[in-house]
């Protein structure tokens, strides 16, 4: 992607039928530090890499609790992520107030996607520069969604976004078929392993990552660093177990990340 | 008053009592909901525990008597506001206690009530809990949000019958005595619970809207948490229903 005459406004189409500003917003997601999500039948784990601008500063908060049964992890412009989290929280609170029941996650992601779409069709606005992994539980089970700046959303078994996420994606693609039956602990382990892949050599410690979980009988919460440190130690001792033979090539029901040349990234 | 065509309130009766101790707070409310000379239900809790799932033990509990429709609306309103403020707290990994403090909740309740100054919530509230130091605190309100921190309080139809007994037993120091002394009672929590049971028994004798066997909420400082057993969670609450008296 390079600068051209059709990319000044989000309301300008290119002759090839693309909205460049929207695609640039998707690029912003790729610049953020990695966030991954994976789910089993009863639990969903979100994990992020903590990036601090300098040794002196604290790291950005990338995981937000939205409600007892929903949490999000973000990658991209964290300020946009924070603002969207506030919106999501308000929607959940309002729904609970009126209906005295938790907001189903499928409805929440649609509301979020609609909000993001508005910004792609107003000349005085700009798209949100953040991708959100929305993890939640409702009556139909455990769900994990990815919401793009473009306003589209997809459901995933597992996903990694942000910088150097391809390594994690490859790892998850190898292993995801077994996730359905995973226990809570195995899910956390695999999540940490995927994070390790994105670090590419850097040592994995509990200070460098944040892990959160939500599941049946377990409200959304961030797991404390001591527990994470213990799991990391068991990862090192146990060493990498041979991944289960991936049967057919990941013929997943959800849209996979295969990209045709020239296709706009927001369609993926 | 009820003869006016535009009277939108109803008094559902009942009584609430709260007593603050050195490291506990006891809040109790009876369970009868009435209208006029009829009983709508014998089984209605006037106590609301504002909390989120992860920390079911909370630092404060709200008991309201008066119009139960407004009580329900007020509880929901406060729970939603509480959630909003909890989310705004910037939570670091080591900070586990996410709930609003009891004094903060007390001010929030006052502001929420005053917001409806010209169409009030017909509720007479008591907020019971533990302050930041772990000492018991009780805040008592009128219908439009005027509030005060006290060592004990009672509201509702039985309030006038109970208050003199509490004054006699809990020996609140006179505000004229200087230096100001703490109004928190030195009684132990089991003694306080017994006092509340007795006081309800007495009120029941003469007030048609109040019954014996109230629901209790005890808030205690420094107990083990079920969710993070390795950490000392500061507060826990217990609901008591006395099988012996029944």
Give me the DSSP letters along A111-157. Answer: HHHHHHHHTTS-TT-----EEEEEEEEETTEEEEEEE-TTS-EEE-S
What is the C-alpha R_g of chain B? 18
Residue B54 and residue A225: Cβ atoms within 8 Å? Answer: no
Tens digit of each residue's pLDDT (9 = 90 or more) over A14-64: 999 999 999 999 999 999 999 999 999 999 999 999 877 788 888 888 999
Task: Tell me the chain A residues in contact with residue B76 when contact means C-beta distances shorter than 8 Å.
Answer: 97
pLDDT at residue A260 greater than cutoff 80: no
The share of chain A scoring above pLDDT 90, in percent, equals 73
pLDDT at B221: 58
Per-residue confidence band for A207, with pLDDT thresholds at 50, 70 and 90: confident
Residues in chain A closer than 8 A to B48 (CB atoms): none
What mean pLDDT, rounded, does chain B reach? Answer: 79
pLDDT of residue B224: 37
Q: State pLDDT tens for residues B134-182.
A: 888 899 999 999 999 999 999 999 999 999 999 889 876 676 766 656 6
Lowest-pLDDT range of A9-13, B22-26, B181-185? B181-185
Compute φ and ψ for B18, nearest 5 degrees: -140, 140
Of B52, B80, B93, the CB nearest to A97: B80
Most confident of B78-87, B96-105, B152-161, B206-215: B152-161
Residue B228 has pLDDT above 60, yes or no: no
Compute the 3-state secondary structure of chain B and give helix, strand, coil in percent, each to the nearest 5: 25, 30, 45
User: What's the confidence (pLDDT) of residue B172?
Assistant: 64
Higher pLDDT among residues A231 and B86, named by residue:
A231
Strand extents, DSSP E, chain B: 15-20, 24-29, 33-35, 38-41, 47-49, 60-66, 123-130, 136-141, 147-150, 152-156, 215-224, 232-240
Contact B54 A221 (CB under 8 A): yes
Q: Which of A161, A156, A152 is nearest to A179 (CA)?
A: A156
Q: Which chain A residues are Cβ-neighbours of B226 within 8 angstroms?
A: none
CA-based nearest distance A96→chain B, Å:
8
pLDDT average, residue stretch A141-159: 96
pLDDT at B61: 87
What is residue B129's three-state secondary structure?
Answer: strand
Positive or negative, the Cα torsion across B44, B61, A101, B225?
A: negative
Rounded to whole angstroms, the Cα distance separating A51 from A59 reads 6
Q: Considering chain A, what percentage of its residues have pLDDT values greater than 70?
A: 87
The pair of structure tokens assigned to B216 is 């209790």
Residue B244: band (very low, low, confident or very high) from pLDDT cuts 50, 70, 90: very low
Which residues are within 8 A (CB) of A136 and not within 5 positions of it... i.e. 6 or more apart?
A: A44, A66, A67, A69, A70, A71, A105, A108, A142, A143, A214, A220
Distance CA A36, CA B165 (A): 62
Quick count: other Cβ atoms within 10 Å of Cβ A53? 9
Question: How many Cβ atoms from other residues are within 10 Å of residue A218's Cβ?
Answer: 17
pLDDT attached to residue B237: 45
**Cβ within 8 Å, pair B76-A97:** yes
Question: What is the per-residue pLDDT across B129-143, written as a single tens digit (0 to 9) for each?
Answer: 888 888 888 999 999
Please list the alpha-helical segments (H only) found in B1-101: 68-88
Give the predicted TM-score (pTM) of the model. Answer: 0.79
By the 8 A CB rule, do B74 and B123 touch?
Answer: yes
Among the ranges given (A125-129, A236-240, B111-115), the one the predictor scored with the smallest mean pLDDT: A236-240
* Buried b or exposed e, range B140-161, using 16+ CB within 10 angstroms: bbebebebebbbbbbbbbbbeb
Angstrom distance (rounded) from CA A108 to CA A134: 9
A218 and B CB contact within 8 Å? no
Chain B residues at the A interface, defined by Cβ less than 8 Å, are 52-54, 76-77, 79-80, 83-84, 87, 90-91, 93-94, 228
Q: What is the mean pLDDT of chain A?
A: 87
Residue of A nearest to B228 (CA): A224
Residue A17, helix vs strand vs coil: coil
Asked if this assembly's ipTM is beyond 0.85, the reply is no
């Amino acid at each position: 992607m390079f600068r051209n005459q059709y990319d000044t406004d989000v309301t300008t189409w290119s002759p090839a039928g693309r909205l460049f500003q929207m695609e640039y917003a998707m690029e912003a997601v790729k610049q953020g530090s990695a966030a991954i999500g994976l789910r089993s039948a009863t639990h969903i784990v979100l994990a992020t890499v903590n990036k601090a601008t300098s040794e002196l500063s604290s790291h950005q908060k990338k995981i937000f609790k939205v409600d007892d049964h929903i949490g999000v992890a973000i990658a991209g412009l964290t300020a946009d992520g924070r603002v969207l989290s506030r919106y999501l929280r308000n929607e959940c609170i309002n729904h609970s107030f009126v209906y005295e029941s938790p907001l189903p996650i499928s409805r929440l992601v649609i509301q979020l996607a609609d909000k993001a779409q508005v910004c792609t069709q107003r000349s005085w606005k700009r798209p949100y520069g953040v991708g959100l992994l929305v993890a939640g539980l409702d009556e139909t089970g455990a769900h994990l969604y990815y919401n793009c700046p473009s306003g589209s959303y997809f459901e995933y078994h597992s996903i990694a976004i942000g910088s150097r996420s391809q390594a994690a994606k490859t790892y998850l693609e190898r292993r995801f078929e077994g996730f359905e039956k995973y226990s809570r602990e195995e899910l956390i382990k695999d999540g940490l392993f995927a994070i390790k892949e994105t670090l590419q050599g850097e040592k994995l410690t509990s200070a460098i990552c944040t892990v959160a979980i939500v599941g049946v009988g377990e409200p959304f919460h961030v797991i404390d660093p001591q527990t994470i440190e213990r799991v990391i130690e068991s990862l090192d001792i146990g060493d990498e177990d041979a991944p289960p033979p991936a049967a057919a090539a990941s013929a997943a029901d959800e849209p996979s990340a295969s990209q045709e040349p020239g296709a706009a990234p927001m369609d993926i | 008053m009820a003869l006016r065509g535009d009277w939108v309130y109803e008094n559902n009766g009942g009584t609430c009592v709260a007593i603050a101790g050195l490291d506990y707070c006891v809040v109790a409310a009876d369970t009868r909901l009435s209208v006029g000379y009829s009983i709508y239900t014998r089984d209605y809790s006037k106590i609301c525990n504002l909390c989120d799932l992860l920390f079911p033990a909370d630092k404060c509990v709200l008991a309201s008597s008066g119009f139960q429709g407004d009580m329900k609306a007020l509880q929901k309103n406060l729970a939603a506001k509480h959630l909003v403020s909890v989310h705004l707290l910037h939570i670091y990994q080591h900070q586990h206690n996410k709930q609003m403090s009891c004094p903060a909740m007390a001010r929030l309740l006052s502001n929420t009530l005053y917001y409806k100054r010209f169409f009030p919530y017909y509720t007479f509230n008591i907020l019971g809990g533990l302050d930041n130091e772990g000492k018991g605190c009780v805040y008592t309100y009128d219908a439009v949000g005027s509030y005060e921190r006290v060592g004990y309080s009672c509201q509702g139809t039985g309030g006038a019958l109970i208050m003199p007994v509490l004054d006699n037993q809990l020996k609140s120091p006179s505000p004229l005595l200087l230096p100001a002394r703490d109004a928190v009672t030195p009684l132990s929590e089991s003694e306080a619970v017994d006092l509340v049971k007795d006081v309800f028994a007495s009120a029941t004798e003469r007030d048609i809207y109040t019954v014996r066997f109230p629901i209790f909420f005890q808030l205690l400082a420094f107990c083990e948490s079920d969710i993070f057993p390795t950490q000392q969670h500061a507060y826990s609450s217990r609901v008591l229903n006395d099988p012996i008296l029944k």
